[in-house]
């Protein structure tokens, strides 16, 4: 199988505790990423409506396990790695989550070397940490429930003391650094201040915005209305090629952008070291439909599929045929890097017959015809496709296509009339 050459600008190596990537794994203790994701799936279900019994769900899932997952999620979303802490300024903040009269405390230490998460209060740190106390159930709802149900009725912030922030007569005191950290955590708990995709792309290090591609404004247009929904997202092509620890930058971007989504990545190479809560990777070759099918039957249906894999037209087209049926009835299917369809080098493309349906852009033209499948007057004008009644929109931008799924079977009274007139004449 033809493999894509490593691009000149490979995404930078992802560092633990960086501004975009996973929180330090030790906040999950011995929990596996899959266990954390399963727990989040249950929390997403329990918090989906105002009348869900979240207390009972947490009791069933385990209070400590739930608290660990929530803290990991807060640290991930808060992107504490880019608060600009300098050497000698490391600070700690305690998250104290209350459940049935118990307090589960976790100390989050932010330093120039990264983020460290420890169970309990950490005694003896200078300055002493600010404490953000809130009910566990309220935090679970704030992170995974619908945005309109987010409240902070039980939150209390215990500041270390005003002696750190009151200016003395002879010197001004800048806001202490922990203000930034507390503010970021509170922002997450309030579901405020989410970055746009362009900013996230740069922060996370994916090439979806920059010198290579400018996809994020198009994604913003199609994805922003879905941002707060419960979603299952699949991206083919995780990045980093053979190196299991490299890549995952766009998966992290999706995880940040869609706070209630479960994000799946498929790659021909093993990427399991990138697995984390809400983010799972699977080894599969998109040129082998049976591997995609097995995956889709296990993890689908999907709300969004993004094909950023081999970019070989035959793979792109067979992947579409395999996965489109596993897209939800109103899902979005994205194909990136359409230009490769014209490039014989590396991607086996072709620029001699631009309508050839064996290449991705020509194939998309068959979907354009399919949009109008009820309008053809001449019998046999085109062979029907299974997708004809299921594609309601095709959005084409430089190098990227967004295919919108929906019901396209409203009928065409005028075409019916013209067909009837033709039949009478003949």
Residues binding ligand SAM (CB under 6 A): 3-4, 11, 206-208, 235-241, 247, 249-250, 266-269, 285-287, 308-310, 315
H or E element at residue 266: strand 261-267
> Are the CB atoms for 319 and 302 separated by under 8 Å?
no
Per DSSP, 142 falls in state H
Q: Where are the beta strands (DSSP E) in 51-99?
A: 91-99
Pairing mode of beta strands 302-307, 327-336: parallel
* Nearest CA among 177, 153, 155 for reference residue 165: 177
Q: Which is nearer to ligand SAM, 192 or 245 (CB)?
A: 245
State how far the Cα of 391 lies from the Cα of 32, in Å rounded to an integer.
39
Q: Least distance from C-beta 284 to ligand SAM, angstroms?
A: 6
State the Cα–Cα distance between residues 383 and 385, nearest whole angstrom: 7
Asked if 311 is an active-site residue, the reply is: yes
For residues 144 and 333, which CB has a smaller minimum distance to ligand SAM in the complex? 333
State the minimum distance, in angstroms, from the CB of residue 285 to ligand SAM: 5
Q: How far is the CB of 27 from ligand SAM (least distance, A)?
A: 25
CB of 222 to ligand SAM, least distance (A): 16
Q: How many CA atoms lie within 13 A of 318 on its CB side?
A: 14
Q: How far is the CB of 403 from ligand SAM (least distance, A)?
A: 18
Residue among 105 and 400 whose Cβ is closer to ligand SAM: 400
Nearer to ligand SAM, 145 or 247 (CB): 247
Which of 252, 311, 315, 373 is catalytic? The answer is 311
CA-based nearest residue to 177, from 84, 107, 94: 84
Neighbours of 198 (CB within 10 A): 17
Q: Which is nearer to ligand SAM, 270 or 350 (CB)?
A: 270
User: CA-CA distance, 75 to 115, in Å (whole number)?
Assistant: 9
Nearest by Cα to 43 from 30, 52, 51: 52
Q: How far apart are CA 284 and CA 303, in angstroms?
A: 20
List the catalytic residues.
311
């Amino acid at each position: 199988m033809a493999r894509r050459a490593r691009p000149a600008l490979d995404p930078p190596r992802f560092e633990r505790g960086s501004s975009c990537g996973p929180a330090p794994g030790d906040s999950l203790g011995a929990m596996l990423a899959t266990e954390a994701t399963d727990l989040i799936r249950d929390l997403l279900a329990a918090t989906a409506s105002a009348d869900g019994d979240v207390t009972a769900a947490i009791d069933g899932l385990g209070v400590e396990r739930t608290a660990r997952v929530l803290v990991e999620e807060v640290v991930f979303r808060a992107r504490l790695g880019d608060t600009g802490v300098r050497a000698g300024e490391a600070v700690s903040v305690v998250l104290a989550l209350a459940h049935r009269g118990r307090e589960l405390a976790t100390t989050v230490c932010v330093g120039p070397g990264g983020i460290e998460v420890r169970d309990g209060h950490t005694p003896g740190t200078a300055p002493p940490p600010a404490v953000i106390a809130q009910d566990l159930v309220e935090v679970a709802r704030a992170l995974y429930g619908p945005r309109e149900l987010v409240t902070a009725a039980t939150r209390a912030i215990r500041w270390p003391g005003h002696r750190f922030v009151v200016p003395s007569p002879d010197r001004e005191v800048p806001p202490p650094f922990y203000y930034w950290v507390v503010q970021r955590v509170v922002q997450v708990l309030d579901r405020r201040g989410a970055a746009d995709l362009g900013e996230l792309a740069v922060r996370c290090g994916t090439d979806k915005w920059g010198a290579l591609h400018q996809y994020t404004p198009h994604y913003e247009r199609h994805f922003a209305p879905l941002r707060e929904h419960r979603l299952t997202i699949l991206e083919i092509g995780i990045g980093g090629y053979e190196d299991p620890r490299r890549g995952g930058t766009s998966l992290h971007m999706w995880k940040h952008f869609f706070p209630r989504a479960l994000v799946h990545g498929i790659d021909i190479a093993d990427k399991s070291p990138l697995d984390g809560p809400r983010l799972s990777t699977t080894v599969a070759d998109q040129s082998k439909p049976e591997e995609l099918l097995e995956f889709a039957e296990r993890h689908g249906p999907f709300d969004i599929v993004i094909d950023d894999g081999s970019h070989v037209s035959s793979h792109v087209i067979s992947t579409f045929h395999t996965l489109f049926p596993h897209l939800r009835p109103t899902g979005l299917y994205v194909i990136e890097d359409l230009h490769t369809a014209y490039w014989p080098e590396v991607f086996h493309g072709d620029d001699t017959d631009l309508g050839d349906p064996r290449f991705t852009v020509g194939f998309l033209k068959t979907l354009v015809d399919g949009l109008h499948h009820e309008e053809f007057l001449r019998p046999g004008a085109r062979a029907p496709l299974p997708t004809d009644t299921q594609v309601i929109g095709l959005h084409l931008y430089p190098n990227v296509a967004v295919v919108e799924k929906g019901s396209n079977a409203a009928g065409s009274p005028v075409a019916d009339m013209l067909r009837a007139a033709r039949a009478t004449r003949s």
